[in-house]
């Protein structure tokens, strides 16, 4: 049965995510940015262990290289 959970899962919706962030005291600017993120979960099975890895869409934030 656990093998059927393995794979890549894209977030379809976040019900009351903004309300959750308000309750945590997160600023409006950060809430607006976080609401635009698209999360992806990758579930892998290695032996008897399951691993869940969270990924965030990389187009939203890009790291600047200094040099």
Is 67 inside a domain boundary?
A: no
The Cα 36–Cα 17 span in angstroms is 11
Q: pLDDT digit string (tens) for 21-40?
A: 999 999 999 998 888 888 88
| pTM (whole model) above 0.75 | no
Which of helix, strand or coil describes residue 4? helix
Is 22 inside a domain boundary?
A: yes
Is 64 inside a domain boundary?
A: no
Is 31 inside a domain boundary?
A: yes
Spatial contact of 43 and 52, defined as CB atoms under 8 Å apart: yes
33: CATH: 2.40.128.20
Give 39's strand partners. Answer: 56
Domain with 45 in it: 2-56
Query: Is pLDDT above 60 for 67?
Result: no
Is 19 inside a domain boundary?
A: yes
- Percent of the chain whose pLDDT exceeds 90: 22
Q: How many domains in the chain?
A: 1
């Amino acid at each position: 049965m656990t093998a059927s959970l393995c794979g890549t899962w894209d977030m379809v919706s976040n019900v009351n995510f903004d309300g959750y962030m308000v309750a945590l005291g997160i600023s409006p600017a950060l809430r607006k940015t976080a609401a635009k993120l698209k999360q992806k979960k990758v579930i892998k099975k290695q032996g008897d262990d399951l691993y869940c890895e969270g990924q965030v869409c990389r187009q939203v934030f890009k790291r600047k290289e200094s040099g």
